[in-house]
Amino acid sequence: MFYQNALIIRENDQNANDDSLYNQLINIGYHPSQVVTVVGSAYQQKDPNDYEVILFVTENMQQSDPFVLNISSELPDHPLIIITTTTSADSILPPGADDWLLKSWVEPLLLKKTLYLTIERKKNSCNYTRIFRENPSPMYIYEKDTYQFLEVNTSALRQYGYDRNEFLQLTAKDIRPITELDAFYKINDELPPTYSNAGIWHHTRKNGKNFYVHIYTHQILFAGKRCKLVTAINIDGNVKAENVLKEKAREKENILESITDGFFTVNKNWEFTYINKEFERILKRNREDLLGKNLWDIFPESLTLEFFTQYHKAMDEHVSVHFEEFDHTIARWLAVNAYPTESGLAIYFVDITDQKNYQQKIESQNKQFKEIAWVQAHQIRGPVSNLLGLVDLFNIKQPSDPDNLELLARVRHTAIQMDESIKDIVYLTRKLESES
């Protein structure tokens, strides 16, 4: 029935001469050469592949937890049975042990049945254990109340940088930054016993470096204790990449918020996807009221203006457009630049009302300058020419010439015309100065 060796590990040298267990193993079919007895940690010097069962002999099962945990950690695939001198009614099997017997119960039939069932149960459980240990996702088990690690797979050991013995000496608190412990205590108590997505956390490797993990948990019964089975997926690269993108997005948003242009974006359904504060100032609308809403529903008056025509041209033809339009809702002139994007349109606009008013003022002044120039060219130039002609006709040699009186009357009339023209120029000039 038994084809491999049995290893007896005595916790100490007490009762070292007690060969009762050895003899019972011989009685149930083991050959004397198949049974090896060692004391304390001497089992580490033995080849574990030679044994199909381990029997750990102790005086008190409840005080043997650390020793049993070490054995099971180093020889996880071997069935481990505790042979104890004393126990109590409420005793719980130590983590890592598969079964137990009182020394007083060790008689051939019960021992044989216990060994057989434990070995078979271990073979079956090893299939599930292998799935756990060889799972590519980092996994571990810790006791819910004490946070003590009870089991860990190979992927988790690689992720955290510990060997198996080191890891199982730790608690779930030891792989977290101190700053996250309060949150960990809270979620440890509050998560339901069923499968739960515990979210994203910081964990700490053996070398002290922190990294991001996504935690999934399920409450299980392990080694007779309430435990948490945890899958800790390393998402450090993804989170850091997302953080870089978020930072760049914040930088971009800061730029868009600080520019003096109004700016907004719409998707291909003409729904607002972004609005900066200058947009709010110029158009006197709050972005919270607009985001996600349809542009044409919010500004129906734009349907009859260049906004509608030009924006559709940019969207449909995938070209940039530049135009000026008077927005009647705010009574302001806007200069608009719209650019197609993969998701819709990006639109910049500035209030050019002051420039428009200044331009109109300049045009009005130019018109008045033309009027002044016309006055100078026609209303003064003619009388001046007449005056010069009359002067040439004046008889200087004979001032008493009767014709001189006629000439002087004409000179006076021409001077009056010139005076009226000069008054017109003065008026137009003062008007320009008052409008400046």
Distance CA 90, CA 360 (A): 98
Query: Is pLDDT of 122 > 60?
Result: yes
pLDDT of residue 392: 67
Strands (E), 108-242: 139-143, 149-152, 196-204, 210-222, 225-234
- 159 token code pair: 């992720």
Distance CA 71, CA 315 (A): 71
Helix axes 20-27, 108-133, angle to 10 degrees: 90
245 within a domain of the structure (yes/no)? no
Mean pLDDT of the 246-274 span: 87
Q: In what order do the strands lie in the sheet with 344-351?
A: 272-275, 262-267, 344-351, 332-340, 321-327
pLDDT of residue 248: 81
Q: Per-residue DSSP letters for 205-237?
A: -TTS-EEEEEEEEEEEEETTEEEEEEEEEE-HH
Sorted by sequence, the CB contacts under 8 Å of residue 95 that are 6+ apart come out as 65, 68, 69, 72, 150, 222, 223, 225
Q: In what order do the strands lie in the sheet with 139-143?
A: 149-152, 139-143, 225-234, 210-222, 196-204
In the chain, the largest separation of any two C-alpha atoms, in whole Å, equals: 175
Q: Are 73 and 168 in contact (CB under 8 A)?
A: yes
- Say whether both 426 and 390 belong to one domain: yes
249 within a domain of the structure (yes/no)? no
Residue that terminates a domain, selected from 113, 133, 153: 133
- Say whether both 185 and 121 belong to one domain: no
Residue that terminates a domain, selected from 101, 133, 165: 133
- Say whether both 329 and 301 belong to one domain: yes
pLDDT of residue 366: 63
49 within a domain of the structure (yes/no)? yes
Distance CA 87, CA 89 (A): 7
199 within a domain of the structure (yes/no)? yes
- Say whether both 120 and 30 belong to one domain: yes
Of 261 and 395, the structure prediction assigns the larger pLDDT to: 261
248 within a domain of the structure (yes/no)? no
252 within a domain of the structure (yes/no)? no
How many other β-carbons are positioned within 10 Å of the β-carbon of residue 299? Answer: 17
Q: Number of structural domains, the chain?
A: 4
Mean pLDDT of the 84-100 span: 82
Q: C-alpha 89: how far from its chain's center?
A: 53
Counting DSSP H helices and E strands in the chain, the numbers are 13, 15
Residue that terminates a domain, selected from 288, 316, 351: 351
152 within a domain of the structure (yes/no)? yes
Q: Which domain range does residue 380 map to?
A: 355-435
pLDDT tens readout for residues 238-255 = 888 888 888 887 887 787
Averaged pLDDT score across all residues of the chain: 85
- Say whether both 11 and 72 belong to one domain: yes
56 within a domain of the structure (yes/no)? yes
Q: Are 153 and 131 in contact (CB under 8 A)?
A: no
We report the CATH number of the domain holding residue 390 as 1.10.287
Q: In what order do the strands lie in the sheet with 5-10?
A: 35-39, 5-10, 51-60, 80-86, 99-102
- Say whether both 314 and 378 belong to one domain: no
- Say whether both 347 and 361 belong to one domain: no
How many other β-carbons are positioned within 10 Å of the β-carbon of residue 305? Answer: 15
Alpha helices of 259-321 — where are they, by DSSP H? 277-283, 295-298, 306-317
- Say whether both 17 and 121 belong to one domain: yes
Query: Is pLDDT of 364 > 70?
Result: no
pTM flag (> 0.95): no
Distance CA 325, CA 333 (A): 6
We report the CATH number of the domain holding residue 231 as 3.30.450.20
Q: With H, G, I as helix, E, B as strand and everything else as coil, classify residue 106.
A: coil
- Say whether both 215 and 102 belong to one domain: no
Q: Give the pLDDT band (50/70/90) at residue 347.
A: very high
Q: Give the pLDDT band (50/70/90) at residue 411.
A: confident
Q: Give the pLDDT band (50/70/90) at residue 432.
A: low
We report the CATH number of the domain holding residue 77 as 3.40.50.2300
- Say whether both 22 and 100 belong to one domain: yes
The least confident of 5-9, 43-47, 194-198 is 43-47
User: Residue for token digits 């006055």?
Assistant: 375
- Say whether both 98 and 179 belong to one domain: no
- Say whether both 129 and 9 belong to one domain: yes
Considering Cα of 83, then 226, then 70, then 128, what sign does the dihedral take? positive
User: Residue for token digits 């400046």?
Assistant: 436
Separation in Å, CA 378 to CA 208, 374, 427: 95, 6, 17
